Amino acid sequence: MSILRLFCGMILISFVIGCVHNDPKPELSTRPQVQPLPAVSMLLSSAEEHLRAGHLIMAESQAERAYRLQPQDSRVLLLQARIAQAQKVPVDAEQWALKALDSLGPDSVFDRIRTWDLIARLRDEQGDQAGAQKAREEARKLLRQSQS
């Protein structure tokens, strides 16, 4: 009897796995968008409130929990960047912002512009005027492309 249960369980698992992996493959030129988890949205909301109130340790804690749940969510990565900026650690903030930029799809033009602007400000904070200028140029280029 237990062998029959094991066999049926294996068939069920194989069926479920087969259904999950039959998704169409995304085009090579686009990065799949992360589906936000409700728990992540709640953690981000809490982290934002703590950040606005100046409770940086609590904000960082909530953002870190969200990151563990969805490390490719651009909202999480951008919030991590803003928290690091508030903590006066622009090098870390820039790294988070660059990760966020990498996680944004090509259709997220406004978010990409906003992220390049953040990167420019962070590079200014580090005294990297040339890098800041390059980031601003990237933002302007995206803006021009979106308007044409």
For the chain, domain boundaries: 38-147
Look at residues 114, 106, 110 and name the one whose alpha carbon lies nearest to residue 97.
114
pLDDT band, very low/low/confident/very high, at 33 (cuts 50, 70, 90) = low
For range 16-21, the mean pLDDT: 40
pTM: 0.74
pLDDT band, very low/low/confident/very high, at 35 (cuts 50, 70, 90) = confident
- What was the pLDDT predicted at 105? 85
- What was the pLDDT predicted at 16? 38
Q: How far apart are CA 74 and CA 85, in angstroms?
A: 16
Residue 43 has pLDDT above 50, yes or no: yes
Phi-psi region of 34 (alpha: psi -120 to 50; beta: other; left: phi over 0): beta
Look at residues 99, 47, 92, 38 and name the one whose alpha carbon lies nearest to residue 74.
99
For range 66-92, the mean pLDDT: 97
Tell me the percentage of the chain whose pLDDT exceeds 70: 77
Task: Calculate the alpha carbon distances from 126 to 40, 92, 95, 102, 114 in Å.
Answer: 31, 11, 13, 21, 19
- Average pLDDT in the chain: 83
Note whether 42 and 114 are within 8 A (CB): no
| Domain 38-147 fold | 1.25.40
